[in-house]
A and B are shown apart, each in its own frame.
Chain A
Amino acid sequence: MEQVWILPAIPFATFLVLGLFNRFIPRRGDGLAVLGMAAVVVLVGVVLADFQNFFVDGIFTPGGEHAYAEEWVDIGQGFFLIEFSTYVDSVTMVMLPVVSFVALMVLVYSIGYMKGEQRYGWYFAALSLFVSAMLLLVISGNLLQLYLAWEGVGLASYLLIGFYWERQAAAEAAKKAFITTRIGDVGLLIGIILLWRVTGSFDIQEIIHAAQEGVFDQTYLTVAMIFLFAGAAGKSAQFPFHVWLPDAMEGPTPVSALIHAATMVVAGVYLVARMLPVYDEVLIARDVVLYTGLLTALMAATMGLVATDIKRVLAFSTVSQLGFMFVALGVGALTAAMFHLFTHAFFKSLLFLGSGSVIHATDEQEVQELGGLRKKMPVTTITFTIGSLALAGLPFLAGFWSKDEILHDLQKHGPMWAYVVLAATAALTAIYTTRVVLLTFFGKPKNQQAYDRAHESPPIMTVPLMILAALAIVAGFVTYTGVGEALGFVGGIGEVVYLPAEGAHRFELDWAFAAGASATAVAGVVIGVAYWWGDAKRAAAARNWAPELHQLFARRYYIDELYQAVINNVVMGASRVVAWFDKKVVNETGVDGATQFIGFLGYRLKFLQTGRIPNYALGMALGVAALAVVAIGTT
């Protein structure tokens, strides 16, 4: 457990080797990357086994070894302490398997997907870098290290979104992603510094204890936590930072599967989950989390309803589901949020990889050009459908359990209207996923060339799909105590992952509630089928009935235009003023003016050098006379 830092070290080593030497390794090192990842998965299992030892009588009692710290820079005897520290607890234990396993699946899949691409070796190097940074992030014990890993993840995301940088759109998207998350990151840094100012430490556990002891002033802490959440919102694409995720689909599809579905975007969720005990102290900040998540979930669901690119739909869906997770965190339900994160990782990456399979086969991303692919690509169709039904929340699939848990907790702890909105969003989720499935795989093919090109993907791509589909079905059952015990845990997920304040709780199925949730999901599917089956006549009619609404959703609420206008006017305007100041005042007056003045002085004074001796003699005599006057004056 102490050596848990090996986990990020392995992919980082892979990154270095592949980044520098991929030309010289056979097959450009993809095997090396997969091998490294597999090693990490195995090691995660080891850590997991070790983790079980910390459960005494069913209660998680952390011993000394789960936290490890090593000092790096110490300024002022602990005034400013940078250390490398790790902290492993149940939240970490949810993230580690998710990250490593999904990464392994994606890496194997990429071998097939990225075959023949130039910069093949660099792709694997960048992915390894990303995994390394993400692992570092989840095991971080102090906020500074977390911030470092945060930025590292952002960097890897930038590199990978802009993988096809010859395409202008891809370069722009990478820039947009980085800049948007950067703005959030500034908030995160401010939050970290604010927290440090009061407690003098970056260590997360220390900060939590300090907050619980009431060291902070209430307003101060609220502000700090809101800033922290700004960083989380940036990374997790919540409103108003959600604009980068849809555009990030310019990157290769496996990248989207790994980074923008399962791992990086949940870094924000992870951060808030980690700091949840502190958020519990300042309920205003927690409410901010709740409502932001709610708003984002609804907005993204509406935008996903009208998007025409498969990957974009999935991107909006991711944003929406992240909103769900934040809603859960917003009511203090750590278990529900982490559970949803767990299940969502599997079925969302499954969906992305499935769409990648479609794209690889048909070279088309637009749903308008696809259709009727189920005959030609059966495995993909089946796995994709399983994934989308899980997303919709159909009973007994993985998504059902976690979403149900969230709705349940929201109904118990949150305002009623929020529950209604979230339930409606869940219904919308079901509708748009059904739409995508129908338009892509069912019905008649709309573009005959695309249809002709379609073929089932090679096993190296379909095997991960099948594994993930299996997980999408069964992953939800870990909520049951029996299943948990069978796996070697103390109990179901509710008994492993919980807030100390909450206490462990067994999972009890509230049949009435579950029935209601299932009904919503099924209703959503039915509506989707009704509108989009066949020729989708009803959908077209609906579109024509409210074209402005459709336009609003399709143009993503015009937020992109708003941001651009702000940048053009405010930022550029301000920079124009500053540039004018720099040019006119500093440069022309200050710098040039000084030199010109000296030159002018020189030009005028040079006439003193007449070269004539009488003039110089006069000068000397004047000097002597002055000295004499002074001497007389002073005596």
Chain B
Amino acid sequence: MIERLPLPAQFDRLIMVGGTAAVLVMAPILVVLLALLIGDEISAAELVFWLAFTVIVAGALGTVLLSNIVHAALALIATLLGVAAIYLLLATEFIALVQILVYGGGVVILIIFGLMLTNAQADPVVTDGSQKPFAAIVGVLLGGIFIAAAIDAEWGAEAATVVPFRDFGARLFKDFIVPVIIVGVLLDIALSGGIVNARAPRDDDASETEEGAAS
């Protein structure tokens, strides 16, 4: 069912090369960071933060720029794992674990299944008016606004507080029990919906769609 994945496009090769170059660049960064750490310029937490930051941003850029889909999926995994690291920094280990399990182990796998099932090929080179410039403008605009807002505001926050796990669980299942149940139902629905949508087409399905197309 799945054909041979195409060879990476030219652009992709560039990215791969670039990525390699990035790694090569990153090595010195890592070294710098370590040096800074050892030299007591930055703390360990900050080192981890900057590392995670680099990974996340690189992964995100890869997801949206790489033309080979599987490579993009892999970049996504990298991003999500970086996000998990961030969660650890924020002393929410549970969420970090959930992140890795659900996203890394579930969502991305699901996406790759989808890729295979839909015979995904490289993102085509668009010739009829690509949206890319406008998308870039909008993205930069919005991101800029958020960053500006974040920097301007006075947060007055000092440090991250650690959340005891027991309290978290108690809170979740005492005060937020209704949303939990609802989310459970939601998952049920999503499951059923997914099955209905994704099941293999049968004969009456084809006639259904033909009727649908005719009417």
Contacts and interface: CB of A to CB of B under 8 A. Distances in A.
Same assembly: yes
Nearest to A631: B145
Contact of A618 (B134, B142, B148): B134
Contacts of B142: 621, 624-625, 628
Query: Which of B131, B138, B148, B149 has the most A CB atoms < 10 Å from its CB?
Result: B138
A632 B153 CA distance: 12
Contact of A629 (B134, B135, B145): B145
B131 A614 contact: yes
B187 interface: no
B141 interface: yes
Contact of A625 (B131, B138, B148): B138
B138 A621 contact: yes
B145 A618 contact: no
A628 B145 contact: yes
B131 A632 contact: no
A618 B129 CA distance: 13
B138 A622 contact: yes
Interface in A584-635: 614-615, 618, 621-622, 624-625, 628-629, 632
Contacts, number: 24
Nearest to B149: A632
A624 B145 CA distance: 11
A632 B148 contact: yes
A493 to B, nearest CB: 97
A625 B142 CA distance: 6
Interface residues of A, number: 10
Nearest to A626: B141
A614 B131 CA distance: 8
A495 to B, nearest CB: 101
Nearest to B141: A625
A625 B135 CA distance: 11
Q: Is the interface of A mostly helix, strand, loop or mixed?
A: helix
Interface in B27-72: none
A21 to B, nearest CB: 65
Nearest to B135: A618
A621 B140 CA distance: 12
B124 to A, nearest CB: 13
Nearest to A610: B129
A632 B138 contact: no
B131 A615 contact: yes
A428 to B, nearest CB: 95
A331 B205 CA distance: 108
Contacts of B145: 625, 628-629, 632
Interface in B137-169: 138, 141-142, 145, 148-149
B147 to A, nearest CB: 12
Interface in B104-157: 131, 134-135, 138, 141-142, 145, 148-149
A615 B129 CA distance: 10
A128 to B, nearest CB: 72
Contacts of A625: 138, 141-142, 145
Contacts of A632: 145, 148-149
A625 to B, nearest CB: 5
A614 B138 CA distance: 13
A632 to B, nearest CB: 6
A621 B137 CA distance: 11
A538 to B, nearest CB: 104
A621 B136 CA distance: 11
Nearest to B140: A625
A632 B151 CA distance: 13
Contacts of A614: 131
Contacts of A622: 134, 138
Contacts of B135: 618, 621
Nearest to A612: B131
Nearest to B130: A614
B132 to A, nearest CB: 10
B172 to A, nearest CB: 31
A313 B135 CA distance: 98
A151 to B, nearest CB: 67
Nearest to B142: A625
Contacts of B134: 618, 622
B142 to A, nearest CB: 5
A527 B141 CA distance: 114
Interface in B74-96: none
Contacts of A628: 141-142, 145
B127 to A, nearest CB: 14
16 contacts: A618-B138, A621-B135, A621-B138, A621-B142, A622-B134, A622-B138, A625-B138, A625-B142, A625-B145, A628-B141, A628-B142, A628-B145, A629-B141, A629-B145, A632-B145, A632-B149
List the 9 closest pairs (A to B, CB-CB), nearest first.
Answer: A621-B138, A628-B145, A625-B141, A625-B142, A625-B138, A618-B131, A614-B131, A618-B134, A632-B145
Interface of A: 614-615, 618, 621-622, 624-625, 628-629, 632
Interface of B: 131, 134-135, 138, 141-142, 145, 148-149
Given A625-B145, A628-B141, A632-B148, 7 more contacts: A618-B134, A618-B135, A624-B142, A625-B141, A625-B142, A632-B145, A632-B149
